[in-house]
Amino acid sequence: MTDSEKKILEGFLSKTLKIDSEGMSNLYNADGELTSLDIAAEADASRITKLKSDSSDQFKRGLKEGASKIEKAVKDKYEVESELQGVELIDHVLSTKIDEVKGAGEDITKHPEFVKMQIDKDKALKAKDKEWQLKLDEAEKNHKKQSVFNKVRQKALDELDAMKPILPEDTKKAQKWKDKFIEEFTRFEYQEQEDGEVVIMKNNEPVKDSHGYSKSFTEHVKETASEFFDFQTAENRSSSGNQQGDPKKELIIKSDEDYLKASQAAKTPEERIKALESYEKNKQK
């Protein structure tokens, strides 16, 4: 792994999983070779656990806030002063009202106001439970969707690297190209199978290839990558090595006219990239 590739990997892990420099050292062996991603897997598992805990706490907090509003409304309507909460408060209100009416010889449990209060209480509690259950379900659905896409993103980048795309030498520019490449994958949805395979979905249906079969993820990556990149060949690598070994062949482009000529004369995508980089570096101000 080159230094620039290490920087890209470590930047990604630091930004998304908050892995510090000490944790990064566990990725490599003594020779600086990438040997394990266990630290990344552990960090992602911790992040998922925290998200689930946060969702549960939010749900409980919502139930408590909803119950407090109902309790206040009951106290205000029936003019009751009490520190009791929940079912105990309702029992206290009922007992108080029953005692008030018993003196008049009336069975309060059959009183219209009593019946209405019981119905309203049940409706309010059920509605609040349903509302927060829907919010919790939606949060879990979004979390699962993001978790699957994170795996899709890494899988797509791994397959792209194996295809040896021709990228700008500048690390930031190369990362921008990769970001645009990954952006294309957000146009689809994905389902992860038990065997680890990924099914590409669009409008809740699997995406088909030109023959009517479900398109494989590898095919999806290759088609998308071909829209953004040219790829290295044995000739490209040989040409690149010769240029690096001979400083006299360094391309210096300062004017629009020189850049146009160099671009037209370029025989490979790599030569066009070098022409553009030289022009941006040396163009006359």
In this prediction, residue 248 carries a pLDDT of 43
% of the chain at pLDDT higher than 90? 20
Domain boundary among 112, 143, 162: 162
Kindly state whether residue 226 falls inside one of the protein's structural domains: no
Confidence of residue 103 (pLDDT cuts 50, 70, 90): low
**Three-state secondary-structure class, residue 189:** strand
Residues 158 and 247 in one domain: no
In this prediction, residue 149 carries a pLDDT of 92
Kindly state whether residue 199 falls inside one of the protein's structural domains: no
113-136 pLDDT, tens per residue? 878 888 888 888 888 888 888 888
Alpha carbon of residue 74 to chain centroid: 43
Domain boundary among 162, 189, 218: 162
Mean pLDDT of 243-271: 67
Residues 151 and 238 in one domain: no
Confidence of residue 90 (pLDDT cuts 50, 70, 90): confident
Is residue 200 within 8 A of residue 193, CB to CB? The reply is no
In this prediction, residue 243 carries a pLDDT of 45
226 or 94, which is more confident: 226
Count of C-beta atoms within a 10 Å radius of residue 120? 14
Dist. CA 44–CA 49, nearest whole Å: 9
Kindly state whether residue 208 falls inside one of the protein's structural domains: no
Q: Which residues pair with 206 in a beta bridge?
A: 201
Residues 242 and 145 in one domain: no
**Structural domain containing residue 123:** 55-162
Dist. CA 192–CA 255, nearest whole Å: 51
Is residue 175 within 8 A of residue 8, CB to CB? The reply is yes
**Three-state secondary-structure class, residue 214:** strand
Kindly state whether residue 39 falls inside one of the protein's structural domains: no
pLDDT, mean over the chain = 79
Cα–Cα nearest to 140, from 40, 59, 41: 59
Residues 157 and 240 in one domain: no
Is residue 191 within 8 A of residue 199, CB to CB? The reply is yes
Alpha carbon of residue 213 to chain centroid: 28
Cα–Cα nearest to 77, from 126, 131, 114: 114
Domain boundary among 129, 162, 195: 162
Kindly state whether residue 79 falls inside one of the protein's structural domains: yes
Kindly state whether residue 17 falls inside one of the protein's structural domains: no
Kindly state whether residue 6 falls inside one of the protein's structural domains: no
Confidence of residue 222 (pLDDT cuts 50, 70, 90): very high
User: How many domains is the chain partitioned into structurally?
Assistant: 2
In this prediction, residue 245 carries a pLDDT of 41
Record the pTM: 0.41
Kindly state whether residue 82 falls inside one of the protein's structural domains: yes
